[in-house]
Amino acid sequence: MEQVSRAVFFLVSVILMLLAGGLMAYAVYSVWTALQAPEGAMDTALLDVIGYLIIAIAVFDVAKYLLEEEVDRGQERRRASEVRKSLTKFMSTMVIAVFLEALVVIFKVARDDVNLLLYPTALIVAGTGMMLGLGLFQRLSASVEQDVEAGTVDDDPDDRKSDTPRRRRSKPALP
Interval 115-157: pLDDT, tens: 888 888 999 999 999 999 999 998 888 887 777 777 776 655 5
pTM: 0.66
HEC secondary structure over the chain: CHHHHHHHHHHHHHHHHHHHHHHHHHHHHHHHHHHHCCCCCHHHHHHHHHHHHHHHHHHHHHHHHHHHHHHHCCCCCCCHHHHHHHHHHHHHHHHHHHHHHHHHHHHHHHHHCHHHHHHHHHHHHHHHHHHHHHHHHHHHHHHHHHHHHHCCEECCCCCCCCCCCEECCCCCCCC
Interval 72-102: pLDDT, tens: 775 555 677 777 887 888 888 889 888 988 8
User: What pLDDT, on a 0 to 100 scale, did the predictor assign at position 12?
Assistant: 93
Delimit the domains of the chain by residue range.
1-76, 79-156
